[in-house]
Chain A
Amino acid sequence: MPPSRGDHQVKPGRGGVRRPLTRALPLAPSLVLLLLFLAGPIAYCAYIAFTDLQLTGQAHSSFVGFDNFTAAFRDDAFLNAVWLTLVFTVLSSLIGQNTLGLALAALMQRASKTVRTVTGAVVVCAWVLPEVVAGFLLYAFFRREGTLNAILDWLHLPTQNWLFTLPILAVSFANVWRGTAFSMLVYSAALGEIPKEITEAAEMDGAGGWRRMWHITLPMIRRSIGTNLMLNTLQTLSVFGLIWVMTRGGPGNRSQTLPLFMYEQAFQKSMIGYGTAVALLLLVVGSLFSLVYMRLLRSEA
């Protein structure tokens, strides 16, 4: 797209109010659709969260105020799901996808073109795969007769059913495997923006790899880190298909994150009202994370 910087400075006073209005006109249909199909359902969900609506077993639903929310905080299974969601997010998004993506991007800066192309293709492949397909692949990798155990067996190491013994770690690994490409692409772009002179100057001054990373690279790509963390976290918070395919939240409730807990309450136990309340709480968790990252972005700007 050609740069259109001039537009903003042209005759600021003329037609003051009118012009933006006519300009916004083409957006009106999409605005209406957004209100209808996005804001509408969200508002309806918010309403349902305050009722005792059920999928079956009830003739009429009624308004119950904050009952669903107080019930959630008294429910051990909900607290367990909150805890597992945090573990899952921190392990797979904050630590896994983010760090590994940065590391891959940094290594690829120095690698030869062939290595870069091949690595890029492999990593992006994982990202392009639909969630459910990725889930099945990793299920096949971790299951008792799966690839991981075949390798361990070949190395004469003890094998086990990973999905059963370490379910939350297994699904976290799966999410890292799937989502790292995105971070890698973001960081590749950010690292490419750093002027060569600065790194070279630092090198001349005798700064080693780690010091250059810590004092030059990281501060310079701080904004990208913030954006990347935010997108990663929000995506990870809503992961459902991957975990559903691999473990269904089990065994017991040992990999039941909030989206799975919500599904179970709403559709397996028929408690739509309660499930929706949990969904709203998940929304709150997501916005809390976003707020923190926005802060991070703003302080730099």
Chain B
Amino acid sequence: MRPTAPVLLSATLLIAATGLTACSSGSGDDPDTVRISFKQSTDNQIRVMDKYLASMKTQFEKDHPGKKVKLVPIKAPDSEYYTKLQQMLRSPKTAPDLVYEDTFLINSDITSGYLKPLDSYLAKWPDWNQFIDTAKNAAKAQDGKTYGVPDGTDTRGLWYDKGIFAKAGIKTPWQPKSWDEVLDTARTIKKKVPSVTPLNVYTGKPGGEQSAMQGFEMLLYGTGTGPGTTDPLYDRSSNKWITAGKPFKDALNFVKTVYGEKLGPDVSDALDPNIGTRVRGELLPKSKLAINLDGSWLPQDWLKGSGHEWPEWSQKLGLAHMPTQNGQAPGKVSMSGGWTWSIPSKASNPDLAFEFIKTMQTKANAQKWYIANSGIAVRKDVAADPAYVKAQPGIKFFTDLVASTHYRPAYPAYPKVSTAIQEAMESVTTGDSSVEKAASTYDEQLKTATDGKVITK
């Protein structure tokens, strides 16, 4: 024991010393540096945002002499990005000055007190009037204050491979009128072109919000009749969440059919957390996937200089809107979300952070960003600019969908509801449980997630 005691003592002193120095060097103290956290793609070849922010940094540092921008990328799949961000937001030591927030989670983070209301800044910023109203509401909390500046929105639809359709003898342009038509087309492709995956619908927990929004909700919101009438997830009159009724089960049944009949990717691939990256980087460009239910932003991966350059995509792929269940009015369905730039409540340089938002959101810079990330404009001046509309094939198709799109009930409980949806999807995808069982498990989880604020309709 004896000879070890001095060693132990010096070791403890060493640990104590390093611990103390680590404490004293908080990284957010520099009043001239604005620290920005954003989600970096898990695909090393996709650096659209990195490049855009790097150019914004140069511009900002030139316009604000003496000020510095420090980019703090978080490289993680969606669900892990949020977790890491929330942990950073909890403490003033780690909170960045500016964060990139998904609108599906923003209300939850607002409720936690992680974000700062921006109203006083927005009131003095003339450009805010250029934002369309739905976008202004994207980050407006139940307290009526606004907590984020949106940098675009998105819509969703069906991407299909014209080459595979030709081989299967299906006429293009293709526009299915109902779910059955989508499934029938997939069945035909499975029979005629057996070497490809007929239809991809994101599913399960590994895909996170991608499964819930591009997958399940694109189905669920197509069971009703048009936007703004009834929300199949949340009842706005009673402020309660809706349990799994027939629409919910129908949507689950669609997922079950896709994977049960092997119309989708192999289940083990579908449940791989990197399925999204594979679809965009490999399956679509290499003509291994016939129909893909996905978002408007896909071309950002295929633009010049983005790693998987594929300029011919607009000749090879066709676009169709997702039909409602039985073709009921308005005939098509889309979901919209988007991301916003927000300032953490524990940020040390909020004023400088808002200056950076202003730099990113000049008309020219915003337009540059929409085009770089295949985003849908939320600024009226950009949307009206012919240069934007013509910048990319597909922009018109997806911008037109804004008229018939739906927004998620992005209340604080939503992220948990979304997880419950993903679990229900996953259990029918793997065949672990029937649609009925999955729906009743969802009901139970919904009760826990929303503190019993549920209603049966």
**What residues make up the interface of A, taking CB atoms closer than 8 Å to B?**
1, 4, 26-27, 29-30, 33, 54-59, 71, 76, 144, 161, 163-164, 248, 250-252, 254, 267-270
Among A27, A59, A163, A269, which residue has its beta carbon within 8 angstroms of that of B416?
A: A269
- The answer to whether A29 and B109 have CB atoms under 8 Å apart is no
Residues on A with C-beta less than 8 A from B412 are 56-58
- Tell me the bound Cα distance from A163 to B267 in angstroms: 12
Residues in B whose Cβ lies below 8 Å from that of A251: 204, 267-268, 271, 426, 430
Q: Main SS of chain A's interface residues?
A: loop
19 A/B residue pairs, CB under 8 Å, sorted by A? A29-B16, A30-B9, A30-B12, A33-B15, A55-B87, A56-B105, A56-B108, A56-B114, A56-B415, A57-B109, A58-B112, A59-B111, A164-B267, A251-B271, A254-B432, A268-B79, A270-B108, A270-B415, A270-B416
Chain A CB within 8 A of B23 CB? no
- The residue on A at minimum CB distance from B79 is A268
- A6: shortest Cβ distance to chain B, in Å? 13
Query: Taking the nearest CB of chain B, how far is it from the CB of A84, in angstroms?
Result: 14
Known: A55-B86, A248-B206, A268-B79. A29 touches B12 (CB 8 A): yes
A-contact bits for B388-425, CB 8 A (1 contact / 0 none): 00000000000000000000000011011001000000
The listed residue with most A CB atoms (<10 A of its CB), out of B83, B109, B266, is: B83
A33 touches B12 (CB 8 A): yes
Q: Tally chain B residues at the interface, Cβ within 8 Å.
A: 41
Q: Distance (Å) between the CB of A58 and the closest chain B CB? A: 6
Question: Is B39 an interface residue, CB under 8 A from the partner?
Answer: no
Instruction: Kindly list chain B residues whose C-beta atoms are within 8 Å of the C-beta of A250.
Output: 204-206, 271, 426
Question: What B residues does A267 contact at CB under 8 A?
Answer: 83
Chain B residues within 8 Å of A71, by CB? 448
Complex CA distance for A221 and B205, rounded to whole angstroms: 47
CB contacts (< 8 Å) of B123 on chain A: these are none
Residues on A with beta carbons closer than 8 Å to the beta carbon of B3: 1
Does B15 contact A27, Cβ atoms closer than 8 Å?
A: no
Contacts of B87 in A (CB 8 A): 55
B270 nearest in chain A by CB position? A251
A254 vs B108: C-alpha distance when bound (angstroms):
30
Query: B206: which A residues are within 8 A, CB to CB?
Result: 248, 250
Q: Is B432 within 8 A of A29, CB to CB?
A: no
Contacts of B416 in A (CB 8 A): 57, 269-270
CB within 8 Å for A26 and B426 given contacts A251-B267, A269-B416? no
Q: Are B268 and A161 in contact (CB under 8 A)?
A: yes
A27 / chain B contacts, CB cutoff of 8 Å: 5, 8
